[in-house]
Chain A
Amino acid sequence: MNTLEVRDLSYSYPDGKPALRGVSMHAAGGECVGIVGPNGAGKSTLLLHLNGILPEDDSRQGEVVICGERITNSNLHEVHRMVGLLFQDPDDQLFCPTVSEDVAFGPAQFGFPAAEIDRIVRESLRQVGLEGFERRSPHHLSGGEKQRVCLAGILACNPSILVLDEPTSDLDPRGRRELARLIRGLPATRVIASHDLELVLDLCSRVYLLDGGEVVASGTAAEILSDEELMVAHGLEKPHSLQHRHPHT
Protein backbone atom coordinates (compact mmCIF):
# COMPACT_ATOMS: atom_id res chain seq x y z
CA MET A 1 0.00 0.00 0.00
CA ASN A 2 1.29 3.38 -0.89
CA THR A 3 1.61 5.90 1.90
CA LEU A 4 0.19 8.58 -0.37
CA GLU A 5 -2.25 8.18 -3.21
CA VAL A 6 -3.88 10.91 -5.25
CA ARG A 7 -6.58 9.71 -7.62
CA ASP A 8 -8.04 11.91 -10.33
CA LEU A 9 -7.94 15.11 -8.26
CA SER A 10 -9.60 18.20 -9.72
CA TYR A 11 -10.05 21.65 -8.22
CA SER A 12 -11.15 25.11 -9.31
CA TYR A 13 -10.43 28.39 -7.55
CA PRO A 14 -13.36 30.27 -5.97
CA ASP A 15 -13.49 32.52 -9.02
CA GLY A 16 -14.08 29.50 -11.23
CA LYS A 17 -10.65 29.20 -12.79
CA PRO A 18 -9.59 25.53 -12.98
CA ALA A 19 -6.39 24.77 -11.07
CA LEU A 20 -6.08 20.99 -11.13
CA ARG A 21 -7.44 18.59 -13.71
CA GLY A 22 -7.53 14.92 -12.98
CA VAL A 23 -4.17 14.72 -11.20
CA SER A 24 -3.02 11.29 -10.12
CA MET A 25 0.18 10.45 -8.29
CA HIS A 26 1.50 8.25 -5.51
CA ALA A 27 4.40 7.89 -3.12
CA ALA A 28 5.52 4.74 -1.34
CA GLY A 29 6.68 4.61 2.27
CA GLY A 30 10.03 6.38 2.74
CA GLU A 31 10.17 7.49 -0.88
CA CYS A 32 11.09 11.02 -1.93
CA VAL A 33 9.03 12.26 -4.86
CA GLY A 34 9.45 15.55 -6.72
CA ILE A 35 6.91 17.79 -8.39
CA VAL A 36 8.23 20.24 -10.96
CA GLY A 37 6.58 22.63 -13.37
CA PRO A 38 6.40 26.27 -14.42
CA ASN A 39 4.80 29.01 -12.33
CA GLY A 40 1.05 28.72 -12.23
CA ALA A 41 1.14 25.00 -12.97
CA GLY A 42 -0.74 24.26 -9.78
CA LYS A 43 2.10 22.78 -7.69
CA SER A 44 1.27 24.69 -4.52
CA THR A 45 -2.43 24.05 -4.98
CA LEU A 46 -1.75 20.33 -5.28
CA LEU A 47 0.38 20.35 -2.14
CA LEU A 48 -2.34 22.13 -0.16
CA HIS A 49 -4.66 19.25 -1.05
CA LEU A 50 -2.25 16.71 0.39
CA ASN A 51 -2.61 18.17 3.87
CA GLY A 52 -6.33 18.74 3.62
CA ILE A 53 -6.31 22.53 3.71
CA LEU A 54 -7.93 22.52 0.28
CA PRO A 55 -10.69 22.24 -0.75
CA GLU A 56 -12.18 24.78 1.68
CA ASP A 57 -15.63 23.29 1.50
CA ASP A 58 -16.93 19.86 0.76
CA SER A 59 -16.52 20.18 -2.99
CA ARG A 60 -14.15 17.27 -3.36
CA GLN A 61 -13.50 16.01 -6.82
CA GLY A 62 -11.23 13.00 -6.76
CA GLU A 63 -9.48 11.45 -3.77
CA VAL A 64 -6.45 11.93 -1.62
CA VAL A 65 -5.60 8.83 0.39
CA ILE A 66 -3.15 8.93 3.30
CA CYS A 67 -1.98 5.57 4.65
CA GLY A 68 -5.11 3.95 3.26
CA GLU A 69 -7.49 6.56 4.70
CA ARG A 70 -9.33 8.90 2.37
CA ILE A 71 -9.30 12.56 3.40
CA THR A 72 -12.82 13.66 4.33
CA ASN A 73 -14.19 16.53 6.35
CA SER A 74 -14.34 14.38 9.46
CA ASN A 75 -10.69 13.30 9.68
CA LEU A 76 -9.06 16.62 8.78
CA HIS A 77 -7.49 17.17 12.19
CA GLU A 78 -5.71 13.83 12.11
CA VAL A 79 -4.66 14.39 8.50
CA HIS A 80 -3.04 17.68 9.50
CA ARG A 81 -0.91 15.75 11.95
CA MET A 82 -0.05 12.90 9.62
CA VAL A 83 0.93 15.16 6.74
CA GLY A 84 3.38 17.88 7.70
CA LEU A 85 3.37 20.83 5.32
CA LEU A 86 6.40 23.12 5.00
CA PHE A 87 5.60 26.41 3.29
CA GLN A 88 7.87 28.44 1.06
CA ASP A 89 8.24 31.52 3.25
CA PRO A 90 9.34 30.59 6.77
CA ASP A 91 8.05 33.92 8.06
CA ASP A 92 4.54 32.76 7.25
CA GLN A 93 4.71 29.74 9.47
CA LEU A 94 7.10 30.81 12.23
CA PHE A 95 4.45 32.85 13.94
CA CYS A 96 5.14 32.46 17.66
CA PRO A 97 7.25 34.88 19.73
CA THR A 98 9.96 32.28 20.49
CA VAL A 99 11.40 29.23 18.78
CA SER A 100 10.33 26.77 21.47
CA GLU A 101 6.76 28.09 21.51
CA ASP A 102 6.60 27.68 17.76
CA VAL A 103 7.96 24.14 17.70
CA ALA A 104 5.56 23.28 20.54
CA PHE A 105 2.58 24.73 18.67
CA GLY A 106 1.78 21.63 16.63
CA PRO A 107 2.14 19.13 19.47
CA ALA A 108 0.01 21.36 21.70
CA GLN A 109 -2.73 21.61 19.07
CA PHE A 110 -2.72 17.87 18.53
CA GLY A 111 -3.10 17.15 22.21
CA PHE A 112 0.31 15.70 22.96
CA PRO A 113 0.75 15.26 26.72
CA ALA A 114 2.04 18.50 28.24
CA ALA A 115 4.80 16.71 30.15
CA GLU A 116 6.18 15.35 26.90
CA ILE A 117 6.15 18.53 24.88
CA ASP A 118 9.35 20.04 26.31
CA ARG A 119 11.24 16.87 25.53
CA ILE A 120 9.76 16.70 22.03
CA VAL A 121 10.74 20.32 21.34
CA ARG A 122 14.32 19.67 22.45
CA GLU A 123 14.51 16.50 20.41
CA SER A 124 13.12 18.13 17.26
CA LEU A 125 15.51 21.06 17.51
CA ARG A 126 18.37 18.62 17.94
CA GLN A 127 17.25 16.75 14.85
CA VAL A 128 17.55 19.88 12.72
CA GLY A 129 20.83 20.93 14.32
CA LEU A 130 19.47 23.82 16.35
CA GLU A 131 20.12 22.73 19.94
CA GLY A 132 19.90 25.59 22.40
CA PHE A 133 17.75 27.76 20.16
CA GLU A 134 14.68 27.45 22.38
CA ARG A 135 14.59 30.99 23.73
CA ARG A 136 15.59 32.74 20.51
CA SER A 137 13.30 35.25 18.76
CA PRO A 138 12.37 34.37 15.20
CA HIS A 139 13.18 37.80 13.82
CA HIS A 140 16.82 37.40 14.79
CA LEU A 141 17.31 34.16 12.88
CA SER A 142 18.72 33.71 9.41
CA GLY A 143 16.54 32.38 6.59
CA GLY A 144 18.08 28.94 6.84
CA GLU A 145 17.66 28.80 10.59
CA LYS A 146 14.03 29.88 10.29
CA GLN A 147 13.32 27.18 7.74
CA ARG A 148 14.92 24.58 10.00
CA VAL A 149 12.82 25.73 12.97
CA CYS A 150 9.74 25.30 10.78
CA LEU A 151 10.90 21.80 9.87
CA ALA A 152 11.43 21.04 13.56
CA GLY A 153 7.91 22.23 14.29
CA ILE A 154 6.57 19.76 11.76
CA LEU A 155 8.78 16.85 12.81
CA ALA A 156 7.61 17.42 16.37
CA CYS A 157 4.18 16.15 15.34
CA ASN A 158 5.64 12.86 14.07
CA PRO A 159 4.06 12.93 10.61
CA SER A 160 4.06 10.02 8.18
CA ILE A 161 4.42 12.28 5.17
CA LEU A 162 6.38 15.48 4.70
CA VAL A 163 5.22 17.88 2.01
CA LEU A 164 7.62 20.68 1.15
CA ASP A 165 6.65 23.66 -1.01
CA GLU A 166 9.71 25.39 -2.49
CA PRO A 167 11.71 24.76 0.69
CA THR A 168 14.96 26.32 -0.52
CA SER A 169 13.73 29.27 -2.54
CA ASP A 170 14.43 31.90 0.14
CA LEU A 171 17.74 30.44 1.29
CA ASP A 172 21.36 31.27 0.62
CA PRO A 173 23.63 28.44 -0.64
CA ARG A 174 24.69 27.36 2.84
CA GLY A 175 21.12 27.30 4.14
CA ARG A 176 20.13 25.34 1.10
CA ARG A 177 22.88 22.76 1.56
CA GLU A 178 22.00 22.25 5.20
CA LEU A 179 18.31 21.88 4.53
CA ALA A 180 18.96 19.44 1.68
CA ARG A 181 21.15 17.35 3.95
CA LEU A 182 18.42 17.28 6.59
CA ILE A 183 15.69 16.33 4.15
CA ARG A 184 17.80 13.57 2.69
CA GLY A 185 18.27 11.97 6.09
CA LEU A 186 14.60 11.84 7.07
CA PRO A 187 12.81 8.48 7.06
CA ALA A 188 9.33 9.84 6.32
CA THR A 189 7.75 9.80 2.89
CA ARG A 190 8.58 13.13 1.25
CA VAL A 191 6.95 15.13 -1.53
CA ILE A 192 8.91 18.15 -2.73
CA ALA A 193 7.68 20.82 -5.13
CA SER A 194 10.53 22.98 -6.31
CA HIS A 195 12.07 25.15 -9.00
CA ASP A 196 15.43 24.08 -7.65
CA LEU A 197 15.91 21.27 -10.12
CA GLU A 198 19.33 20.36 -8.80
CA LEU A 199 17.73 19.80 -5.41
CA VAL A 200 15.03 17.63 -6.95
CA LEU A 201 17.63 15.65 -8.86
CA ASP A 202 19.66 15.24 -5.69
CA LEU A 203 16.88 14.18 -3.34
CA CYS A 204 14.06 12.65 -5.38
CA SER A 205 13.83 9.20 -6.92
CA ARG A 206 10.76 9.95 -9.00
CA VAL A 207 9.38 13.16 -10.49
CA TYR A 208 6.00 14.37 -11.73
CA LEU A 209 5.94 17.19 -14.26
CA LEU A 210 2.90 19.41 -13.76
CA ASP A 211 1.71 22.02 -16.22
CA GLY A 212 -1.67 23.70 -16.57
CA GLY A 213 -3.01 21.67 -13.66
CA GLU A 214 -2.26 18.33 -15.33
CA VAL A 215 0.43 15.71 -14.91
CA VAL A 216 2.10 15.79 -18.32
CA ALA A 217 4.89 13.36 -17.53
CA SER A 218 6.22 11.17 -14.77
CA GLY A 219 9.18 8.88 -14.32
CA THR A 220 12.50 8.66 -12.56
CA ALA A 221 14.18 11.97 -11.76
CA ALA A 222 17.01 11.30 -14.20
CA GLU A 223 14.62 10.41 -17.04
CA ILE A 224 12.40 13.44 -16.70
CA LEU A 225 14.97 16.07 -15.87
CA SER A 226 17.40 15.07 -18.61
CA ASP A 227 14.73 15.22 -21.33
CA GLU A 228 15.70 18.64 -22.65
CA GLU A 229 12.80 19.02 -25.05
CA LEU A 230 10.27 18.13 -22.39
CA MET A 231 11.80 20.51 -19.86
CA VAL A 232 11.92 23.46 -22.21
CA ALA A 233 8.44 22.78 -23.57
CA HIS A 234 7.09 23.26 -20.06
CA GLY A 235 8.98 26.35 -19.05
CA LEU A 236 11.84 24.57 -17.34
CA GLU A 237 15.37 23.59 -18.33
CA LYS A 238 17.76 20.73 -17.91
CA PRO A 239 19.72 21.00 -14.65
CA HIS A 240 23.35 21.99 -15.16
CA SER A 241 24.73 18.80 -13.69
CA LEU A 242 23.00 16.87 -16.47
CA GLN A 243 24.01 19.22 -19.28
CA HIS A 244 26.95 17.22 -20.54
CA ARG A 245 25.87 13.82 -19.47
CA HIS A 246 24.31 11.12 -21.64
CA PRO A 247 20.75 10.60 -20.28
CA HIS A 248 21.32 6.90 -19.73
CA THR A 249 24.48 7.04 -17.65
Chain B
Amino acid sequence: MRHEYIDRYARLDSPVHRLPPGLKLAIALALVISTVMVPISAIPYFAACALLLLIVIFLAHLPFRFVALRLLTLEPLAGGVGILALMQHDGLLMLIRILVKSNLCLLTMIVLSNTTPFDGILGVLRSLRVPQLLVTVLALMYRYVFLLIDQSERMTRARKSRTFAPRRGGRWKTAAGIVGQLFIRSTERAERIYAAMSARGWR
Protein backbone atom coordinates (compact mmCIF):
# COMPACT_ATOMS: atom_id res chain seq x y z
CA MET B 1 0.00 0.00 0.00
CA ARG B 2 1.41 3.37 -1.01
CA HIS B 3 0.07 5.18 1.98
CA GLU B 4 1.85 2.82 4.27
CA TYR B 5 4.46 5.55 4.48
CA ILE B 6 2.30 7.26 7.06
CA ASP B 7 3.02 4.65 9.69
CA ARG B 8 6.25 3.34 8.30
CA TYR B 9 8.60 5.35 10.46
CA ALA B 10 6.25 5.98 13.33
CA ARG B 11 6.80 2.45 14.59
CA LEU B 12 10.58 2.26 14.42
CA ASP B 13 12.56 1.64 17.55
CA SER B 14 14.86 4.39 18.74
CA PRO B 15 15.46 6.44 21.89
CA VAL B 16 13.17 9.08 20.46
CA HIS B 17 10.41 6.65 19.60
CA ARG B 18 10.51 5.25 23.10
CA LEU B 19 9.79 8.61 24.71
CA PRO B 20 6.24 8.97 26.00
CA PRO B 21 3.91 10.40 23.34
CA GLY B 22 2.62 13.11 25.66
CA LEU B 23 6.12 14.46 26.09
CA LYS B 24 6.76 14.55 22.36
CA LEU B 25 3.46 16.28 21.67
CA ALA B 26 4.15 18.85 24.38
CA ILE B 27 7.63 19.58 23.06
CA ALA B 28 6.35 19.88 19.50
CA LEU B 29 3.65 22.28 20.61
CA ALA B 30 6.09 24.33 22.65
CA LEU B 31 8.47 24.49 19.72
CA VAL B 32 5.78 25.63 17.32
CA ILE B 33 4.35 28.24 19.68
CA SER B 34 7.72 29.70 20.50
CA THR B 35 8.71 29.75 16.84
CA VAL B 36 5.58 31.75 16.08
CA MET B 37 6.20 34.20 18.91
CA VAL B 38 9.94 34.80 18.71
CA PRO B 39 10.81 37.78 16.47
CA ILE B 40 12.69 36.97 13.30
CA SER B 41 15.68 38.98 14.46
CA ALA B 42 16.54 36.31 17.03
CA ILE B 43 18.51 34.27 14.53
CA PRO B 44 20.39 32.12 17.08
CA TYR B 45 17.05 30.84 18.38
CA PHE B 46 15.96 29.60 14.96
CA ALA B 47 19.33 28.10 14.26
CA ALA B 48 19.21 26.26 17.58
CA CYS B 49 15.73 24.90 16.80
CA ALA B 50 16.84 23.68 13.41
CA LEU B 51 19.86 22.00 14.93
CA LEU B 52 17.75 20.37 17.62
CA LEU B 53 15.38 18.96 15.03
CA LEU B 54 18.23 17.64 12.90
CA ILE B 55 19.70 15.89 15.94
CA VAL B 56 16.32 14.34 16.74
CA ILE B 57 15.95 13.16 13.15
CA PHE B 58 19.33 11.50 13.40
CA LEU B 59 18.61 9.89 16.76
CA ALA B 60 15.26 8.63 15.52
CA HIS B 61 16.83 6.91 12.51
CA LEU B 62 14.59 8.86 10.15
CA PRO B 63 16.02 8.97 6.63
CA PHE B 64 17.00 12.59 5.83
CA ARG B 65 15.92 12.18 2.24
CA PHE B 66 12.43 11.21 3.32
CA VAL B 67 12.14 14.22 5.60
CA ALA B 68 13.47 16.56 2.94
CA LEU B 69 10.99 15.19 0.42
CA ARG B 70 8.08 15.67 2.81
CA LEU B 71 9.19 19.23 3.45
CA LEU B 72 9.45 19.95 -0.25
CA THR B 73 5.97 18.70 -1.05
CA LEU B 74 4.58 21.07 1.56
CA GLU B 75 6.51 24.12 0.33
CA PRO B 76 4.15 25.43 -2.37
CA LEU B 77 1.60 26.94 -0.02
CA ALA B 78 4.24 28.81 1.95
CA GLY B 79 5.68 30.04 -1.30
CA GLY B 80 2.31 31.18 -2.61
CA VAL B 81 1.36 33.22 0.42
CA GLY B 82 4.95 34.40 0.61
CA ILE B 83 4.67 36.05 -2.78
CA LEU B 84 1.63 37.95 -1.58
CA ALA B 85 3.49 39.05 1.52
CA LEU B 86 6.09 40.72 -0.69
CA MET B 87 3.54 43.38 -1.57
CA GLN B 88 4.10 45.49 1.46
CA HIS B 89 6.89 47.81 2.38
CA ASP B 90 8.69 45.29 4.55
CA GLY B 91 7.93 42.57 2.03
CA LEU B 92 11.23 40.78 1.75
CA LEU B 93 11.71 40.58 5.50
CA MET B 94 8.18 39.24 5.85
CA LEU B 95 8.87 36.60 3.21
CA ILE B 96 11.99 35.44 5.02
CA ARG B 97 10.11 35.42 8.28
CA ILE B 98 7.35 33.27 6.80
CA LEU B 99 9.71 30.83 5.16
CA VAL B 100 11.88 30.33 8.20
CA LYS B 101 9.05 29.99 10.66
CA SER B 102 6.78 27.82 8.56
CA ASN B 103 9.56 25.45 7.57
CA LEU B 104 10.65 25.06 11.17
CA CYS B 105 7.08 24.30 12.21
CA LEU B 106 6.61 21.90 9.31
CA LEU B 107 9.78 20.08 10.24
CA THR B 108 8.59 19.79 13.82
CA MET B 109 5.32 18.22 12.76
CA ILE B 110 7.01 15.87 10.31
CA VAL B 111 9.31 14.65 13.06
CA LEU B 112 6.41 14.33 15.50
CA SER B 113 4.24 12.31 13.14
CA ASN B 114 7.10 9.98 12.29
CA THR B 115 8.11 9.25 15.85
CA THR B 116 4.70 8.90 17.45
CA PRO B 117 2.12 6.36 16.31
CA PHE B 118 -1.34 7.79 16.15
CA ASP B 119 -2.74 5.57 18.87
CA GLY B 120 -0.18 7.15 21.20
CA ILE B 121 -1.56 10.58 20.39
CA LEU B 122 -5.09 9.29 20.95
CA GLY B 123 -4.02 8.09 24.37
CA VAL B 124 -2.71 11.54 25.19
CA LEU B 125 -5.98 13.12 24.07
CA ARG B 126 -7.92 10.72 26.26
CA SER B 127 -5.83 11.57 29.29
CA LEU B 128 -6.35 15.26 28.59
CA ARG B 129 -10.06 14.55 28.91
CA VAL B 130 -10.84 15.42 25.32
CA PRO B 131 -14.52 14.48 24.85
CA GLN B 132 -15.02 10.75 24.34
CA LEU B 133 -17.03 11.15 21.15
CA LEU B 134 -14.29 13.15 19.44
CA VAL B 135 -11.62 10.60 20.39
CA THR B 136 -13.82 7.74 19.15
CA VAL B 137 -14.38 9.56 15.86
CA LEU B 138 -10.64 10.16 15.45
CA ALA B 139 -9.82 6.52 16.26
CA LEU B 140 -12.36 5.09 13.85
CA MET B 141 -11.37 7.58 11.19
CA TYR B 142 -7.71 6.65 11.42
CA ARG B 143 -8.53 2.95 11.39
CA TYR B 144 -10.67 3.09 8.26
CA VAL B 145 -9.15 5.86 6.20
CA PHE B 146 -6.68 3.53 4.45
CA LEU B 147 -9.42 1.05 3.67
CA LEU B 148 -11.50 3.76 2.04
CA ILE B 149 -8.57 5.14 0.09
CA ASP B 150 -7.96 1.61 -1.22
CA GLN B 151 -11.63 1.28 -2.17
CA SER B 152 -11.49 4.63 -3.90
CA GLU B 153 -8.41 3.65 -5.91
CA ARG B 154 -9.92 0.33 -6.92
CA MET B 155 -13.09 2.01 -8.10
CA THR B 156 -11.10 4.59 -10.04
CA ARG B 157 -9.05 1.89 -11.75
CA ALA B 158 -12.15 -0.11 -12.58
CA ARG B 159 -13.91 2.87 -14.09
CA LYS B 160 -10.84 3.93 -16.03
CA SER B 161 -10.55 0.54 -17.64
CA ARG B 162 -14.18 0.52 -18.69
CA THR B 163 -15.04 3.98 -19.87
CA PHE B 164 -13.97 5.93 -22.88
CA ALA B 165 -15.20 9.32 -21.68
CA PRO B 166 -12.43 11.73 -22.54
CA ARG B 167 -14.76 14.68 -22.05
CA ARG B 168 -14.21 16.41 -18.76
CA GLY B 169 -17.90 16.34 -17.99
CA GLY B 170 -17.97 12.55 -18.20
CA ARG B 171 -14.96 12.24 -15.94
CA TRP B 172 -16.52 14.55 -13.38
CA LYS B 173 -19.69 12.49 -13.35
CA THR B 174 -17.65 9.34 -12.86
CA ALA B 175 -15.58 10.83 -10.08
CA ALA B 176 -18.70 12.12 -8.35
CA GLY B 177 -20.16 8.65 -8.65
CA ILE B 178 -17.11 7.26 -6.86
CA VAL B 179 -17.51 9.82 -4.09
CA GLY B 180 -21.16 8.85 -3.80
CA GLN B 181 -20.33 5.15 -3.64
CA LEU B 182 -17.70 5.79 -0.99
CA PHE B 183 -20.29 7.46 1.19
CA ILE B 184 -22.89 4.75 0.70
CA ARG B 185 -20.41 1.96 1.46
CA SER B 186 -19.26 3.90 4.51
CA THR B 187 -22.77 4.00 5.90
CA GLU B 188 -23.19 0.28 5.28
CA ARG B 189 -19.91 -0.57 6.91
CA ALA B 190 -20.73 1.69 9.85
CA GLU B 191 -23.86 -0.39 10.47
CA ARG B 192 -21.86 -3.61 10.44
CA ILE B 193 -19.26 -2.12 12.77
CA TYR B 194 -22.01 -1.12 15.17
CA ALA B 195 -23.28 -4.71 15.13
CA ALA B 196 -19.76 -5.97 15.88
CA MET B 197 -19.31 -3.44 18.69
CA SER B 198 -22.65 -4.39 20.22
CA ALA B 199 -21.84 -8.08 19.96
CA ARG B 200 -18.73 -7.42 22.04
CA GLY B 201 -20.67 -5.64 24.73
CA TRP B 202 -20.31 -1.97 23.76
CA ARG B 203 -22.41 0.18 26.03
In the complex they form, whether A and B have CB atoms below 8 Å apart is answered with yes
Please, how many angstroms separate the alpha-carbon atoms of A249 and B144 in the complex?
Answer: 49
| A243 at the binding interface (Cβ < 8 Å) | no
Q: Which residues of the partner chain A approach B70 to less than 8 Å between Cβ atoms?
A: none
List which A79-113 residues lie within 8 A (CB) of chain B.
80-81, 85, 87, 89, 91-93, 95-98, 101, 105-106, 109-110
Complex: chain B residue closest to A150, CB-CB: B196
Q: Which residues of the partner chain B approach A109 to less than 8 Å between Cβ atoms?
A: 200-203
Q: Which residues of the partner chain B approach A97 to less than 8 Å between Cβ atoms?
A: 118-119, 122, 139, 142-143
Interface string of B160-202 (1 = CB under 8 A from A): 0000000000000000000000000000010011011111111
Interface size class of B (residues with CB under 8 A): 20 to 34
Q: Which residues of the partner chain B approach A80 to less than 8 Å between Cβ atoms?
A: 198-201
In the assembled complex, the CB of B164 is this many whole angstroms from the nearest CB of chain A, namely 33
| B153 at the binding interface (Cβ < 8 Å) | no
| A95 in contact with B197 given A89-B192, A139-B143 (CB within 8 Å) | yes
Please, how many angstroms separate the alpha-carbon atoms of A80 and B189 in the complex?
Answer: 21
Q: Are B192 and A48 in contact (CB under 8 A)?
A: no
| A51 at the binding interface (Cβ < 8 Å) | yes
Please, how many angstroms separate the alpha-carbon atoms of A27 and B48 in the complex?
Answer: 70
Q: Which residues of the partner chain B approach A98 to less than 8 Å between Cβ atoms?
A: 117, 119
In the assembled complex, the CB of B122 is this many whole angstroms from the nearest CB of chain A, namely 6
Complex: chain B residue closest to A87, CB-CB: B196
Please, how many angstroms separate the alpha-carbon atoms of A106 and B198 in the complex?
Answer: 10
Q: Are B203 and A77 in contact (CB under 8 A)?
A: yes
Q: Which residues of the partner chain B approach A96 to less than 8 Å between Cβ atoms?
A: 139, 143
Interface string of A113-139 (1 = CB under 8 A from B): 000000000000000000000010111
Complex: chain B residue closest to A52, CB-CB: B199
Please, how many angstroms separate the alpha-carbon atoms of A46 and B123 in the complex?
Answer: 38
| A186 at the binding interface (Cβ < 8 Å) | no
Checking B117, B119, B193, B200 against A106 with a beta-carbon cut-off of 8 angstroms, the contacting residue is B200
Q: Which residues of the partner chain A approach B200 to less than 8 Å between Cβ atoms?
A: 80, 93, 105-106, 109, 153-154, 157
Please, how many angstroms separate the alpha-carbon atoms of A109 and B147 in the complex?
Answer: 26
Please, how many angstroms separate the alpha-carbon atoms of A80 and B197 in the complex?
Answer: 10
Q: Which residues of the partner chain A approach B202 to less than 8 Å between Cβ atoms?
A: 105, 109
Q: Which residues of the partner chain A approach B142 to less than 8 Å between Cβ atoms?
A: 97
Q: Which residues of the partner chain A approach B117 to less than 8 Å between Cβ atoms?
A: 98, 135, 137
Q: Which residues of the partner chain B approach A93 to less than 8 Å between Cβ atoms?
A: 193, 196, 199-200
In the assembled complex, the CB of B148 is this many whole angstroms from the nearest CB of chain A, namely 11
Checking A51, A105, A139 against B147 with a beta-carbon cut-off of 8 angstroms, the contacting residue is A139
Please, how many angstroms separate the alpha-carbon atoms of A153 and B196 in the complex?
Answer: 11
Q: Are B7 and A140 in contact (CB under 8 A)?
A: yes
Q: Are B143 and A95 in contact (CB under 8 A)?
A: yes
Checking B119, B122, B195 against A53 with a beta-carbon cut-off of 8 angstroms, the contacting residue is B195
Please, how many angstroms separate the alpha-carbon atoms of A51 and B139 in the complex?
Answer: 26
11 A-B pairs within 8 Å (CB atoms) are namely A53-B195, A91-B189, A92-B189, A95-B193, A95-B196, A97-B119, A97-B139, A98-B117, A101-B119, A137-B117, A154-B200
Kindly list 11 other residue pairs between chains A and B, CB separation below 8 angstroms, not including A97-B143, A106-B200, A135-B117. Answer: A80-B199, A81-B201, A85-B199, A87-B195, A92-B195, A92-B196, A93-B193, A95-B197, A98-B119, A110-B201, A140-B7
Residue positions of A touching B, CB distance < 8 A: 48, 51, 53, 77, 80-81, 85, 87, 89, 91-93, 95-98, 101, 105-106, 109-110, 135, 137-140, 153-154, 157
